[in-house]
């Protein structure tokens, strides 16, 4: 899934209890929320720019959520605006749609519904990030010059401009999603949405309505028409991640979609033609799943038009120093550090087997950038960092060092707990527990 931690959200809501509830919930989910109780302050804030995601009530004071929408779009046409109201009418929905609002939620709603809308808004936005990121990342974000990666680039450059379905295979953390985005960005569909869907994370029963949409009342809980991902991504690319996880029933539906290119929302009598390119990925052995009868052979043939198999990092060691330096520069800039890599540190990185591939290397370098003693990454600090990542939850005997590390990482990430947990290589829940114990 898209990384959403630390994403900034501007919230406008006059009802203090609703405001507090939403702020608390979104912060727990790792977002940074700036909340306003009136349109005046919010519009003034929007005039300064830099807002990429806005959630606003509609009826607030002398001005409304539609004014917020206009102000948000004026500062950044690509800003996603989610409007919510207990008093929706045809007129407000029309005005919201005309003004380019991303979603419209009827109050009361489940907080998970809001979260879903937020995630969808982030996913649908053009992947051009804020300035800090852009400066960090010059020409290419795909690092690697090994022959294995160059072969991948060649195939990508040939296949990207076509509409061909692509299967991306590779172990966890090898860059499958990054490749899927590159394919999209280098196609004629680049200015249309790229929508990733983690098929493994969505319950099989919901996958159909998620992708094809659902009519109001199609099932319990469907309190409004929901547009499916395939339709929302029209003219763009849909990235079906963890495709090996879909069940037999959905395999049939997906096959039919790939043959007919039509979606029929759950509960709807009518089908609509959509124009989307499909890219799928999995870290499972699909071929073997086909042989074992766990994955339909006809679907496999439909998907397997072009296949990209990303090599694991241990099979392209020449990329390790390139990636290490790339991530070091990135995190030095992000955390205002001047950490340097030593030869012994690099040698140590090269000796490691990288079961988690590029993602693991990336997290390790981020951690080292924040925690490296004397601003140097040497063999010892690499060994320590690898050991800390392996044990996951961290040893209780090292409580003191651990507390110190947690404080430093939290400071570096500006107090963002989701990010900090990632850097520390522990689960967010574990971090919360530790913080409670430390009384932070
Ligand atoms: N060649 C690369 N150059 C730069 N960054 C990379 C490269 N490959 C992967 N990454 C980074 O590593 C992280 C993991 O990559 P990605 O999410 O694409 O992996 P994945 O194969 O989809 O993993 P999973 O199977 O766990 O979903 C991302 O932050 C990505 O930006
Ligand atoms: Mg992935």
pLDDT, tens only, 400-439: 677 888 888 888 888 888 889 888 888 888 888 888 887 7
Closest C-alpha residue for ligand 1 atom 13: 359
| Ligand in nearest proximity to the CA of 196 | 2
Give dist(CA 242, CA 253) in Å, integer. 16
Ligand 1, pocket-test mutation among 282, 313, 359, most atoms within 8 A of CB: 359
Question: How far does the centroid of ligand 1 lie from the alpha carbon of residue 396, in Å?
Answer: 31
Strand 32-36 with 53-57, pairing: unpaired
From the centroid of its chain, how far is CA 399?
32
Interval 272-283 mean pLDDT: 96
If one compares 200 and 219, the residue with the highest pLDDT of the two is 200
Alpha helices in 337-439 (DSSP H): 343-351, 357-371, 379-391, 399-412, 417-424, 428-438
Residues with CB under 6 A from ligand 1: 141-144, 170, 172-178, 283, 323, 358-359, 362
Using an 8 Å Cβ cutoff, are 367 and 424 in contact? yes
What percent of the chain has a predicted confidence (pLDDT) above 90? 58
Fold for 148-311, please state it: Rossmann fold (3.40.50)
pLDDT of 264 > 60? The answer is yes
Whether residue 170 contacts residue 177, with contact meaning beta carbons closer than 8 Å, is answered with: no
Atom of ligand 1 nearest to the CA of 144: 1
What own/partner pairs with CB < 8 Å and gap ≥ 24 does 254-259 have?
A: 254/299, 255/296, 255/298, 255/299, 255/302, 257/211, 257/212, 257/230, 258/165, 258/299, 258/302, 258/303, 259/302
Checking if the pLDDT of 1 tops 60, the result is: no
Predicted local confidence at residue 27, as pLDDT: 92
For residue 292, the SS3 value is: coil
pLDDT at 220: 67
Confidence class for position 390, pLDDT limits 50, 70, 90: low
Q: Which of 81, 74, 14 is nearest to 41 (CA)?
A: 14
Name the 3-class secondary structure at 272: strand
Q: Whose CA is nearest to atom 12 of ligand 1?
A: 359
Q: Do the domains spanning 148-311 and 315-438 agree at the CATH topology level?
A: no
Atom of ligand 1 nearest to the CA of 283: 25
Band the pLDDT of 104: cuts 50, 70, 90.
confident
Q: What is the pTM of this model?
A: 0.66
Q: In a 3-state reduction of DSSP, which class is residue 105?
A: strand
* pLDDT range class, residue 89, cuts 50, 70, 90: low
Nearest CA to ligand 1 atom 29: 359
Q: What is the mean pLDDT of residues 255-280?
A: 94
- Kindly give the interhelix angle for 399-412 and 428-438, rounded to the nearest 10 degrees: 110
The string of pLDDT tens digits covering residues 323-357 is 999 999 999 999 888 999 999 999 999 999 998 89
Domain residue ranges of the chain, discontinuous segments joined by +: 8-125, 148-311, 315-438
Return the number of other C-beta atoms located less than 10 Å from residue 374's C-beta: 9
Tell me the CA–centroid distance for residue 357 and ligand 1, in Å. Answer: 8
Residue nearest to atom 28 of ligand 1 (CA): 359
Task: Please state which CATH class domain 315-438 belongs to.
Answer: mainly alpha
Instruction: Tell me the per-residue pLDDT of 121-175, one tens digit each, with 9 for 90 and over.
Output: 888 765 543 322 333 333 467 888 888 888 888 888 889 999 999 999 999 999 9
- pLDDT number for residue 440: 67
Alpha-carbon gap, residue 303 to 136, rounded angstroms: 35
> Which of the 8 DSSP states describes residue 377?
E
Q: Which fold has domain 8-125?
A: Rossmann fold (3.40.50)
């Amino acid at each position: 899934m898209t990384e959403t931690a630390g994403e900034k959200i501007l919230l406008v809501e006059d009802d203090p209890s609703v405001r507090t509830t939403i702020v608390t919930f979104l912060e727990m989910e790792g977002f940074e929320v700036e909340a306003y109780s009136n349109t005046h302050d919010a519009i003034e804030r929007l005039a300064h720019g830099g807002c990429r995601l806005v959630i606003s009530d509609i009826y607030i004071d002398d001005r409304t959520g539609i004014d917020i929408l206009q102000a948000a779009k004026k500062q950044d046409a690509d800003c996603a605006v989610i409007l919510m109201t207990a008093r929706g009418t045809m007129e407000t929905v029309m005005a919201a749609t005309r003004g380019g609002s991303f979603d419209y939620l009827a109050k009361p709603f489940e907080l998970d519904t809001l979260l879903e809308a937020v995630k969808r808004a982030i996913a649908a936005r053009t992947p051009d990030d804020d300035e800090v990121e852009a400066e960090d990342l010059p020409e290419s974000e795909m690092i690697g010059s090994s022959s294995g990666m160059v072969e991948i680039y060649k195939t990508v450059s040939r296949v990207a401009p076509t509409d061909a379905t692509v299967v991306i295979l590779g172990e966890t953390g090898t860059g499958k999603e990054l490749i899927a985005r590159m394919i999209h960005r280098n196609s004629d569909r680049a200015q249309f949405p790229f929508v990733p869907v983690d098929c493994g994370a969505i319950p099989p029963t919901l996958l159909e309505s998620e992708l094809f949409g659902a009519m109001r009342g199609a099932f319990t809980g469907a309190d409004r028409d929901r547009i499916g991902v395939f339709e929302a991504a029209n003219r763009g690319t849909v990235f079906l991640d963890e495709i090996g996880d879909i069940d037999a029933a959905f395999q049939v539906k997906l096959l039919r979609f790939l043959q007919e290119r039509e979606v029929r929302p759950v509960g709807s009598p009518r089908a609509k033609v959509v124009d989307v390119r499909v890219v799928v990925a999995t870290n499972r052995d699909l071929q073997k799943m086909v042989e074992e009868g766990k994955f339909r052979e006809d679907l496999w043939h439909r998907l397997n038009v072009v296949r990209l198999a990303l090599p694991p990092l241990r099979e392209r060691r020449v990329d390790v120093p390139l990636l290490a330096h790339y991530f070091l520069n990135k995190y030095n800039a992000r955390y205002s550090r001047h950490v340097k890599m030593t030869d012994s540190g690099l040698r140590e990185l090269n000796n490691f087997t990288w079961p988690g591939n590029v993602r693991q290397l990336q997290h390790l370098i981020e951690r080292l950038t924040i925690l490296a003693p004397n601003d140097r990454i040497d063999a010892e600090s690499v060994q320590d960092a690898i050991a800390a990542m392996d044990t996951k939850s961290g040893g209780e005997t090292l409580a003191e060092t651990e507390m110190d590390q947690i404080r430093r990482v939290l400071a570096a990430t500006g107090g963002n707990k989701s990010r900090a947990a990632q850097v520390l290589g522990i689960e967010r829940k574990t971090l919360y527990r530790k913080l409670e114990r430390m009384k932070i």
